[in-house]
Structure 1
Amino acid sequence: MTDVKVLHETGKHGDLQERVESILDEVVPLVRETTRLELPALVVFRIIDPETWQADSEADLTGFVSRFRARRPRWHAPAIGLVERMSLRQFRKVAPLLGGVLVMGATTAGPAEQSQTMLVPEALAHSGVLSSPYYLTQLVIHELVHHAQNLATLHREAWAAEKPSAFLRAGSIKFVEEGHAYWVDQQVTRRLFGEPKNIHTAPTTIQSDVYQAALKNRRIARMRRGPDIYTKGRQLVAAAIESAGLSTFNGVWTDLSLLPVKHELEHPDRWAERLTAGTS
């Protein structure tokens, strides 16, 4: 049994809380059925302002770094501290654009086995998510999947026991996490609406001028270089599930050795073949 709480911590877009609650009531069983993963006993969605998003995102980053530091030799601490300071410095330079304009949703670690999803009304409006129930539904599903992933990996503890850098989403982890959430949100929105809904391919006319300008910001453009973790990740996950089956795929959440390696990111069929071979 999963208890759902939607907390409205800002006075803006007063109907958003009710909309998110209604979506969660409908999609919680569908996400559980589609993923075959459990959800935490308590699922929390918070509607917050950009400043709170920045502060809590920083806390999430430093929390993962602290867990990483605790698993490394003490003499590594100065180097880890330097990396943390540099990461925070870079994050703070783009945080106003991310939290206030670009980031549609973000799910972070909560207490114990819980997770929390942060939604910023201003960013949802700029991105166009608020313009259609389809896109808000997709977003809620996507972030809800991260709650299930976090419970399955115990906030990456299952991987970090063997490879501490897993706390920092090293290697293929970000592709698997985001690709899996994207695959699920497409499956569930197809079931709900007859076709998958994807805000990333929605008409740019629903985006604000502020949003489009933010995408062109030099620092944001630099962050977006390289493979699209959502599209590439979904291709990776879809190939694996189609070939090896969902039960086998779900082994990745507790077994580091099942995660794709570098050459398998470039050739999803090779990862799918390895997972499939493991079941024979």
Structure 2
Amino acid sequence: MSAFDAFPLGQPAFVSNVLDRAAHLRMNDEKLMALESDPRSRAYVVYRDSLVVKKEAERTRALLTLDEAVKFGANPGTIFLGLRDGAAVFGMGVSAAAAEKLVSRDDVAVNELRGMAMQGAVPPGELAAIAAAKSMVNWHQRHGFCANCGTRTAMREGGWKRECPSCKAEHFPRTDPVVISLVTLGDKCLLGRQKHFPPGMYSCLAGFVEAAETIEDAVRREIFEESGIRCTEVQYYMTQPWPYPSSLMIGCTARALNEEVVVDRSELEDARWFDREEARLMLARKHPDGLAGPHPFAIAHHLVGRWVHDGKPASA
């Protein structure tokens, strides 16, 4: 399955979750312990930005049995992600030392998640659960101590809370909102590139929502700061969970009020206008100058693709 088949228009990676989160079970320690002993239970095991997968003939399998996860060195603490067909699915992490030991094995691999998703190597329906596992494991690894008093905290509620035994403070995982916007002016759209992008790749402009800021104001601010373009008519399109480390991409469209681009070189390497035909060729990887648009697994591809396909802004 190619990435274009895996992520049709309007369905980027990480948005289709096949799990029932079953949040009511998070408070039931007895039930969770029973699920951890159930042979039907499975786990996704992550290491930093990578996924531990089982090699099987010509394919790899991301959903591991709990026995496999433990044998591969996964940490004993499990994060309850939800139920699939009545069976529990957990998220687990591995240490650097354990991951290093797996590299030389023939039956297992530690593969970078973004690359696997872009290649269509993981079923799209599994990616949202994997994203949750990655975000939650990362949060636990970075928040082991109470921000209030410094005491080591303990995992609670199936991994969805950490509790301080000293000051009783409760700590919950956070999601950072990010606006990503397709700005249009007539039959042109504004795209930019950062230095770390692959050569020739352009994408929609994006940035974090600040404290006490609306989504609409964040779009207007980010677009102006990065490109000098003032915009209006900000409209919501769709969202995409983004586990790097734990963001929510809020896809929007907006109409530009001016045309001259003034690039903030501290943020972008370049930004420019592209007409609809150029954008279509970029998404199809057929631009005569070798330029390319965002990959289908990213929401930016779907913002541009909808505009190209419909002949009007993506929110229309």
TM-score, normalised to structure 1, is 0.26
Q: Give 1 or 2 for the bigger CA radius of gyration.
A: 2
Structure ranking higher in helix proportion: 1
TM-score, normalised to structure 2, is 0.24
